[in-house]
Every structure is written in structure tokens, then in C-alpha cells.
Structure 1
Amino acid sequence: MLKGLGGLGDMAGMMKKAQKMQSDMAELQEKLSEMTVMGESGAGLVKATATAKGQLVGLDIDPSIFHPDEKEVVEDLILAAIKDAQAKASQRAETEMQKLTEGLGLPADFKLPF
């Protein structure tokens, strides 16, 4: 393509790949905002829904757990469900990022910033 210009041909190819990756990253960020995961605790009595970016978007609590003398238990279940949803969101984002970068020849454990 750019014969006689040394490594400039490779540089142009690298720039195209970088621009494509930037575009793909922007698209992935949008998709992660729309993907949801559900975390739960207490055998499903408390369920938290989050986007794959970790933003909490829903909370479902079975009314059977509301007893005034068990307030702390309910709070713990809510926190556990939220943490579970956030952990699943993080894993989902990592999986999607690996799909995006697998063709770039980057090491498997290479982390790109979000």
C-alpha cells in the first residue's frame, strides 16, 4: 500500500485498528448501559437488578420478610443482593470486553479502562 515508506504502512493500519476499536468501545459502553443482570439473596427473597455497568435499576423484595424485629436481617439481605448484582455486572462487562479485544492480539489478562 505505502510501499517505500518503511513502517508508515503499518502505522496507517494500526491507526485504522485503533479508530475501529475506539468506535467498538463506544458501542460496547452503550450496550453495557442497556444490558441487565440480577443479583439475589435470601434464596430469592431479595432481588436487585443492575446494568452491566453496575448501576442499580431495580429492587424486588418479597413482602414475607418484613417483620419489625428483623429489620437488620432485611437490610443485610438488600445489601447482599445489591453486591451480587454489582459483581455479576462487573463479570458481564469483563466478558463483553474480552469479546471485543480477543481479535487484537492483546494478552488475556490485559485490562482496558472503562
Structure 2
Amino acid sequence: MKDLMGMMKQAKAMQEKMQGLQEEIGNITATGESGGGLVRVTLNGRSELTALSIDPSLAKPEEKDILEDLLIAAHAEAKRRLEHEIQEKTQALTAGLQLPGGLKLPF
């Protein structure tokens, strides 16, 4: 019975840590660039686009296709950076826990 109470305490502590982690992740930002910095995209921890910067030299009708490609590339880089930072924070929180393989946190 004592082990069960200990496990319950650990589960409660882990739940509180996960809530803190989710709040922390929500405050993370990641910026991706493309075209040598001509296009910049910033995402928050919920993968929401929070900022976009486009160099004025790309605001020409004949540059439309290039601009679209650069936006996609900058977004992909920002998303990759964001996912990497979230993974690092999650691993730091769950270090030492015996979790099943392939389990992605936070849920």
C-alpha cells in the first residue's frame, strides 16, 4: 500500500511538471530564415505564426513564385527549430523515467 501511495505522489508530481512544461513550451519562439535572410518567419510553441518579415526587394509581381518558395522554406526551418527545442525540454523533464519507446510528450 505504501508503494501505491508513493506511485500516486510521483504521478501527481509528474503531472504538475508536465503542466509547467506545456506553459513553458507555449512561450518558446523559433525563427526560420530563407533566401539569405530575405524572408523570416517566427513561430510560437503552439506552432502559430507570430511574425513575418519580407525584404521589400521581393515585393514584385515577377518575384511571386520565389517569395512563395522562400516563405515555405522559412516556415519549415522555424518549425524544425521549434520541434528541436521542445524535444530538448521534454527530454530534460523526463530524464530517468522509464517511458515506452515512441511515446511523444507533451501529449
Question: Is TM (by shorter chain) over 0.5?
Answer: yes
| 2:26 corresponding residue in structure 1 | 33
| 2:42 corresponding residue in structure 1 | 49
Q: Which runs of 5+ in 1 are unaligned?
A: 1-7
SS in 1 for 2:43: strand
CA drift of 1:106 comes to 3.6
For the 8 Å contact 2:29–2:82, the answer to whether it is kept is yes
For the 8 Å contact 1:53–1:93, the answer to whether it is kept is no
- Give the number of the structure with larger relative contact order, counting CA–CA contacts within 8 Å between residues 6 or more apart: 2
SS in 2 for 1:103: coil
Indicate which of 27, 44, 67 corresponds to 2:60: 67
- Greater shift, 101-110 or 34-43, is seen at 101-110
Q: Deviations over 1:19-43 (max 9, x none)?
A: 1111111111111111111111111
Over 6 Å off, 4+ runs: none
What does 1:71-82 correspond to in 2, within 5 Å? 71-82=64-75
Identity %: 44
What's the RMSD between the two structures over aligned residues?
1.7
For the pair shown, which has the larger CA radius of gyration, 1 or 2?
A: 1
Letter in structure 1 aligned against 2:25 = L
Aligned partners of 2:46, 2:77: CA distance in 1, in Å?
13
Q: Which runs of 5+ in 2 are unaligned?
A: none
What does 1:1-114 correspond to in 2, within 5 Å? 8-106=1-99, 110-114=103-107
Aligned partners of 1:110, 1:32: CA distance in 2, in Å?
18
